[in-house]
Amino acid sequence: MTEGAGAVAATALGPVLERLESLVGLAPNDVLVNRLRRAAGLVARLPLDHGGIDHPDWAALLDAVTVQETRMFRAAAQVEVFRAAVLPAIARPGRPVSLVSAGCATGEEAWTLAVVAARAGIEARVLGLDLSRPALEAAVAGRYHLGPPDALREVPAADRALLDIAGGWFEPVAALRPMVAFRRANLLRPDLGPAAADAILCRNVLFYLSQPARDAVVGQLASALRPGGALLLGPTDSPPPGIGLRPWAPGLVGIWRREGGGG
């Protein structure tokens, strides 16, 4: 929520914008400036020369300036490609498939992955990562308003069987809960470990970052993928060259395969 009513000159925000970019990669654009102006009380007490994402004042500012818009099965056409072509290709007998929602906001993307894997009968572990503490709390709670606008408008009818829907709310069925975990993380340093994930979704996140931060995040995520693993980005995002990613399939936009591992 808004904190502090005083107007903050754009020039006074310069050091804060610089620090936000170096800390978490946020691009110094108009959206960010407007959000900082609305958080003037928080901005006034920031320690500009120290503190990381766990410092209470920086953490509170990150909660205030990040954008959490999301929904179940967002960009459903890409989710369907994931279901039909990517998931069968990354699944291996004898171990759960490891899926990451990088920039998960309030968690709907992670729960979407759990629904898709469960419906396919594929054992999966899903990890959601985000900076925003209130968003992560909502993700863990996993209980959402139906809307309006209709929060399930992109969810295929058959997938709704894995949601409990009642009284204006929905939540994933209890059987999905053990599949999904959430962790606070900075995607510039996600600490996923090398070659740890079979697929990573990072959609509607890079848009908010500066170009160097986009490249750095995609580099981190690529190195966290197993050879043959998949990186799903937004349709206008593209990885920098030379980091071992190639298009998942000719003509397919937004899905990339880590080289190695056949395919």
Ligand X SMILES: C[S@@+](CC[C@H](N)C(=O)[O-])C[C@H]1O[C@@H](n2cnc3c(N)ncnc32)[C@H](O)[C@@H]1O
Min. distance of Cβ 140 from ligand X in angstroms? 14
**Residue 43 or 104 with smaller CB distance to ligand X:** 104
**Residue 238 or 263 with smaller CB distance to ligand X:** 238
CA distance 230 to 257: 5
Min. distance of Cβ 162 from ligand X in angstroms? 18
Min. distance of Cβ 164 from ligand X in angstroms? 21
Min. distance of Cβ 71 from ligand X in angstroms? 7
Identify whether the C-beta of residue 231 lies closer than 8 Å to the C-beta of residue 190.
no
Binding footprint of ligand X on the chain (CB under 6 A): 24-25, 66-70, 74, 103-105, 109, 130-132, 135, 185-188, 203-205, 208
